[in-house]
Structures are given as C-alpha cells and as structure tokens.
Structure 1
Amino acid sequence: MQTFTLKGEYIQLIQLLKVMNWVEHGAMAQEVVAEGYVKYNGTVDFRKRLKVKVGDIVEFDGNQVTVI
C-alpha cells in the first residue's frame, strides 16, 4: 500500500489518480472513475470531483493509497 501526504484540506479524486501516476492524463482519470474502476473507502464511487481527505483509501487497478 502506498501513502499520499495531503498538503491541504482535500484533493479531488481525479487529481489524486494523476498525482499517483496511475493514469496518463486527466481525461483518462475521468473515464476510469465514470466506468466504475475506482474504489473509495472500499466502495465504487463515480464522483470525479470527490474530495479525498486524510484517512481515506483509494483503490485502482491493483493499487491502493492511503491519504495521510
């Protein structure tokens, strides 16, 4: 499992996918979220602009990150 250190109150889900290098660009991030390939705290979430905060766990394509 990887960790991501948050430098503000939150990061949008699609931005987190890009920062983690799990997708190549923003359009791809939006697509994988819309298709239901991303899990947020254990459940599929389709909100592209979801505010990910400290303590949240995001999963995609066999990768998992905890926001600290």
Structure 2
Amino acid sequence: MKEIVIHSGYIKLDQFLKLSDCVSTGGMAKALLQEGQVKVNGEAEERRGRKLYPGDRIEVEGEGVFVVAGGEAEER
C-alpha cells in the first residue's frame, strides 16, 4: 500500500490518479474509471470528480492500493 500525501482538504479522483502515476492524462483517467478498474473504499467508482479525503483508500487494478494522507497544511 502506498501513501499519497495531499496538502489541501481534498483531491479529485482524476487528479489523484495522475499524482499517483497510475495515468498520465485526464483522458486515460476517464477510460480507467469507465472500465470499472478503480475502487474507492471498496466501492467501484466512475466519477472523475469524486472528492477524496485523507484516509480514503483507492484500489487501481494493475497498479495497487493507495491511501490518501494529509500533509502539514491538513494538520493545522
């Protein structure tokens, strides 16, 4: 399981997929989601704009499991 640190209150799922190096473009993120290859907290997710918060667990088929972690700005 890999932790991806964000420095804001949340991150959108498509941005998260790029930040975690699962995809390199928004179009690739859209295709990955439409194919049902992404789960958020154990539930299949198709919305690119889904907001992810620290503690959320993302499973990407063929890439692994990721957890959103808050950075210093989140802890203040």
CA RMSD of aligned residues (A): 1.0
Residues 30 and 48 in structure 1, CA contact (< 8 A), matched pair in contact too: yes
TM-score between both structures, scaled by the size of structure 2: 0.83
Q: Which residue is 2:36 aligned to?
A: 36
Contiguous gaps of at least 5 residues in structure 1: none
Amino acid in structure 2 at the alignment position of 1:54: P
Q: Give % identity.
A: 35
Determine whether 1:15 maps to 2:26.
no
Q: Deviating runs (4+, > 6 A) in structure 1?
A: none
How many Å separate the matches in 1 of 2:41 and 2:15? 17
Contiguous gaps of at least 5 residues in structure 2: 70-76
Residues 34 and 48 in structure 1, CA contact (< 8 A), matched pair in contact too: no
TM-score between both structures, scaled by the size of structure 1: 0.92
